[in-house]
Structure formats: structure tokens, C-alpha cells
Amino acid sequence: MDTLAINLSNVELTLGGQDILTIPQLSIYENERIGIIGKNGVGKTSQIARTS
């Protein structure tokens, strides 16, 4: 079994008074690949920066 690398719960991102992203639970394990998709300007990079 791979080792847990990232474990997030109850993550919310609000920009300019607008809810951008809500993640109730996210677990990412070593050697696991994920993708973050969405329209331009919806906060993908902001969320990565906030969790790193």
C-alpha cells in the first residue's frame, strides 16, 4: 500500500466574496497522479498555492 502524502478535509476557497472551491475530503497517496481542471480564473493555482 502507498503512503498517504496529502490529506485535506473541509477546504473552502473564497475570492472576492464568491465561493470558488469546496473540498469536503481529499486523500492523495504517494505515486498517485491527479489532475485539477477548470475554467481560467476559477482558482486552481490559488488552491494549489494555499495547500502547499
Return the DSSP state at 2: P
Q: Where are the domains of the chain?
A: 4-51
3-state secondary structure of 48: helix
Tell me: the pLDDT tens digits for 4-48?
998 999 988 888 898 878 889 999 999 999 888 989 988 788 878
Amino acid 25: pLDDT: 96
3-state secondary structure of 9: strand
> Residue 26 phi/psi, 5° resolution?
-145, 125
Structure pTM?
Answer: 0.59
pLDDT band at 1 (very low <50, low <70, confident <90, very high): low
